[in-house]
Amino acid sequence: MAQLSNDCFSGTDRLITTSEALTILSDRITPVTDVTAVPLRAAVGRILAEDIVSPIDVPPHANSAVDGYAVYFEDLDPSAATTLPIGGRAAAGHPLGRAANRGEAIRIFTGAPMPAGPDTVMMQEDCREADGGVTIAPGIKQGANCRAAGEDVTKGRTILKSGLRLRPQEVGLAAAVGRAELQVFKKVRVAIFSTGDEVGEPGETLAAGKIYDSNRYTTMSALERLGCVVDDLGILQDSPEKIAEAIRKAARSHDVLVTSGGMSVGEEDHVGKAVSDNGNLHFWRLAIKPGRPVSLGQVHAGDRSAAFIGLPGNPVAAMVTFLLIGRPLVLRLGGATEISPAVYRVTAGFTHKKKLKRREYVRARLEDTPDGTVRAQKHGASGAGVLSSLVGADGLVELPEHMTEIEAGSTVNFLPFSEVLG
């Protein structure tokens, strides 16, 4: 007796796991190797293409951590106040210019180079200045309030590694060792298009039976946040010939092709065949919810080859699969060595049942509880087409393949949108 497929996730072909998909991605994607130099102001968000070795100590000299008085520790009485004459002044950018003498205190300010000799700084709040001298209370420890040369970075240390996606703090560290520009990988160039005669462009009047295209705009925004150069090819008709022609042309000048829809088994789903006929389709179905019909492949055009990502047509599925598959592909292609986002352990504030052997991602928001813990609460409707459920959600609760249900109070993995969309 024939079995009717009343579940959209049932089928005869094996669905591969997310882990398997990421292994395929890592094994079959070669990073873009072109490198360019950019000034520090343009470096944030770029992927570093060189190891940065510090040519200097940071700080380059011992300096004061506070406003106060630099002294020889041995000049201080450990059991009573000590009064010393003030023999000079040192400020940031204006060193004393000589070695300090024994038996004198040097007025010093935060960040000022320590004069040769003194090894301790007394905070001005704990001192009394009068008649050209300063009285220092007892009890300070030797070396207090002094920053050593190289305390932050030592000369010759590798401070940043190639493959790192640069954040503001890494750019700042490069500046701290004197770098004015950095070698970075060139930006990944992405061509994106949608398919489907039912899809209309926002701003147009919808004809009967049509919907506005949201997937392309969601994905373009995510790609631009990743630092890609994005070319919008618009909406392609459901024509095998036009789709094949479009992807061949795009592959000649782009590193990645991204589309949504057209990857299932319907009569009007032409994208998968176009990719297979003009390259390779490495996989086209994942054992996840939402987002089974997602694909990874390559499109060849002469001596060039572009990676291909086929996202599902349902808006939530498109976004989830882009974050899971598209994002790591783009980062890997762009030269990044770390492509896995941080996942956090939180407490589930909801119950949920799922199918065995399928990884599921539940839209969730975080909320504080009276006992000071953070709980993930299910947010919005669960359908793959309910795009509004992503608005107000903080991220995704990840439920692995072996799990069939969770109860409120269970500990679960949580993937914040801030980790993958920032």
CB 359 within 8 A of CB 401: yes
Of 186, 171, 199, nearest to 39 by C-alpha is 171
Output the pLDDT for position 269.
62
CB 380 within 8 A of CB 388: yes
CB 128 within 8 A of CB 115: no
Of 69, 53, 63, 166, nearest to 122 by C-alpha is 69
Tens of pLDDT, residue by residue, the chain (422 residues): 333 334 443 433 567 888 888 887 777 777 887 999 999 999 999 999 999 999 999 999 999 999 999 999 999 999 999 999 999 999 999 999 999 999 999 999 999 999 999 999 999 999 999 999 999 999 999 999 999 999 999 999 999 999 999 999 999 999 999 999 999 999 999 999 998 888 899 999 988 989 999 999 999 999 999 999 999 999 987 888 989 999 999 999 999 999 987 655 444 567 888 898 999 888 778 889 998 888 888 999 988 889 999 998 899 999 999 999 999 999 999 999 998 899 999 999 999 999 999 999 999 999 998 888 899 999 988 888 899 999 999 999 999 999 999 999 999 999 999 999 86
Output the pLDDT for position 262.
63
CB 69 within 8 A of CB 122: yes
Q: Could you tell me how far CA 122 lies from the centroid of its own chain?
A: 42
Output the pLDDT for position 407.
95
Could you tell me which residues come within 8 angstroms of residue 14 by beta carbon, excluding any fewer than 6 positions away?
A: none
Which neighbouring-strand residues pair with 64? 146
Indicate if 63-147 has the same CATH topology as 18-34+187-333: no
CA pair distance 40, 361, nearest whole angstrom: 38
Of 236, 362, 254, nearest to 301 by C-alpha is 254
Measured in Å, how far apart are the chain's first and last C-alpha atoms? 51
Output the pLDDT for position 175.
98
Output the pLDDT for position 11.
39
Domain 63-147 is found in CATH 2.40.50.140: no
Could you tell me which residues come within 8 angstroms of residue 188 by beta carbon, excluding any fewer than 6 positions away?
A: 32, 226, 227, 228, 229, 255, 256, 330, 333, 334
Classify residue 375 by its DSSP letter.
E
3-state secondary structure of 315: helix
Provide the token pair at 406: 């969770």
**What residue ranges do the domains of the chain occupy?**
18-34+187-333, 41-58+152-185, 63-147, 344-421
Output the pLDDT for position 14.
66
Q: Could you tell me how far CA 135 lies from the centroid of its own chain?
A: 52
What is the DSSP code string of 358-370? -EEEEEEEEEE-T
Domain 18-34+187-333 is found in CATH 3.40.980.10: yes
Output the pLDDT for position 267.
47
Domain 344-421 is found in CATH 2.40.340.10: yes
CB 389 within 8 A of CB 403: no
Classify residue 22 by its DSSP letter.
H
CATH topology classification for 41-58+152-185? Molybdopterin biosynthesis moea protein, domain 2 (3.90.105)
Gyration radius of the chain's alpha carbons: 30
